[in-house]
Structure 1
Amino acid sequence: MADPTPPLPTFAVAGRFFDGQSAGAKVVRAEAEQIKGRLLIYDEESGRLLDQWPLDSLRMIRDPGFGDGIVFFREGHDEARLNIASAEDAAALGAVAPNLRKVSVAKGTWRKVLLWSGGAVAALLLILFVILPTLADTLAGMIDPEQEERIGQTVVGQVERMLGSHNGSGFCSTPEGDAALAKMTERFTDHLDLPYELKVRVIRNPLVNAFAAPGGHVVIVSGLLDKADSPEEVAGVLAHEIGHVAARDPLRITLRTAGSAGIISMILGDFAGGALVILVSEQLMQASYTRDAEAGADEFAHELLRKAELPSEGMARFFEKLRDQYGDVDGAEEFLSSHPNLASRAIAAREAETRGDGTFVPVLDEAEWDALRAICK
């Protein structure tokens, strides 16, 4: 099929013109002058020139109230309209208008968009980092221990799945190992007053980690036992996690993360409940508490070690091992990190001098320590 004949340098089309000032429409003849790049709109009855539009300023819309016709207007002057009923005339006029389908943006629109976007981002940050933390702290005091324990069970179950097991299969248990872990835990619980029982377990995974979940749950990852050289090092980490439990930090971070996920879901779309649990679990696994919460848990651990008559030096040595293997954060990076740097935490642990006269009863004897380290073997 041959291409349609291109429009002549000057040609006319018939239409109806609305000047945007009066309600009536005028029957017009619109002459397109390609050489001069303009469209002259004449009153068909009187021959009077009504308006002239540059061809490169022509835009088009399909007006649902105009049947199958095409409506043309001039960029920046969209109150006036030229309605062309003939498809052939509309196509001819469209062929000489280079910017016909260009989307026009009014002057100042981008500035307004940026201002509104900036305001929206500022409001979102205010909600996420000021209002939600305050609300989470308030709600944490309103949730009873039984509810918190159920929340913790859900989170711990999800963490297990994240670490590659399910339905409790990833948690390690031997009679000797369980007894050793219970003995270490009891060394601390004699000096605690918690609204729920402390539940400490070991899960099989090479990660060097431990975390606390809502409701008194503390999980030690077996990679931490492999890395430690003494039971006092593990005891120092356990005391730190118990500090988070006592302050209900895991519940606060769960509520904050849930609130943040809810806000983000409204912006980005539906957020599944399962994904929410995963997000909370990841936050707890990464121990993404505030710097104040981390420092508070360290101070709590020092005091707990003191009451248990155990040295904080083991806690310091473990921090130094982590620093040597994984590096540390300093300067601006430390300021941005949720944790104080490991070197300063190690120094603080040593300065705590929790064992008093320097003598102490080991938290586990050699056989018990071997049993705990072998609990996942």
Structure 2
Amino acid sequence: VLVTESLISIVSMYSAGSLSERKNPSLIIKNIQIIRGLLIALIALILYTSYSIYFLPLVNFLVRFTKPYYKSGLFILQGEIFPKKSLRKMYSSSNIMFYLGQILGIACAGFLLTLNNLYEGILVSSAFYFISGLNIVPITKTNFNNFENKPTVLKKKSSIENWFVLIVDLVLKKYFLYLLVASSINLILLIGLKNILAPIVNKNFSNSSYWMSILDAALILGCLISSYCTGKYLNKYSMFWINIFSLLGQILILFLLGIVSQSFIIVMFFFVVGFLNTVSWIQYAAYVQLECNSLIRGKIVQIRDFLAVICTALFMPFLAFLNENSVFNAVMGVSLMAISSVAFFVLYYFIKMKEIK
């Protein structure tokens, strides 16, 4: 299933970046969110029918396929609307609202599922997609009214030329490649952790859905607090050392998750991973908006996910094999993959810095 989802994402990401760069991003966001809302509402309508077994996989495919278009469009829109000097704070605030929404969503879903109101829960989810899409309408009418008519350089560039600009930026920008690698490794670590969450809960909490929600909430709470701290305090410190500390801390925690069985410590581990993991994304997103060519923003926001998804498709079958033997083996597998990635990251950094000097 994971490999199939990864392949779907790869196909979607390839086209999402280019389309968002060449069309009105606010219209893309609005239309995608409304489409996703309709698809989720469709799930509620067909849930208890004999057709659900056929339509649910198709709806799930379409919801996942459209996600990269929303992400690329939003990334471009943020770069156009917000002042450059406040981008890092903007990403911090955006992440805070995103994770607050996730925590409220977990609470709402848990409450509705406790009452066995699955139908109502799906409709609530659908309604929020509609609200999200409609919130973009004022931006569509004001900031981007003439977007399609602007004689921008972007309109004159072909997709191949834009890919060439991306490659040039990757090679020449001082920090771009290693921030990209660091952010991609962090995303892979997060995907790996989420995929060993069920075995950890099964081993330490007797497969309790309550504890699975607690661990998920601890992870999100760590992300939320990290978003606040990154925007307010971490501007003073080196991006390189922040990312190294973040990666090494997560690897150590993954290693310890295979050994520790105390519930409170495991919850705290998930909180710390959430905190450390969020730092690199805010650093990466702000740097890209400030330093990289605006022609390729849509591709840039997808290339990180693209790298992570490819690694997921390659390594998750191996991780699933380890999972069947023991949780400890699975945790060690994720840790070893991360250690090798960090070794490459550090080596590249020092080679690049030597060239610059």
Give the TM-score band, short-chain normalised: under 0.3
TM-score normalised by structure 2 residue count: 0.22
Q: Pick the structure with more helix per residue.
A: 2
Higher relative contact order (CA 8 A, sep 6+): 2
Q: Pick the structure with more strand per residue.
A: 1
Structure number with greater Rg is 1
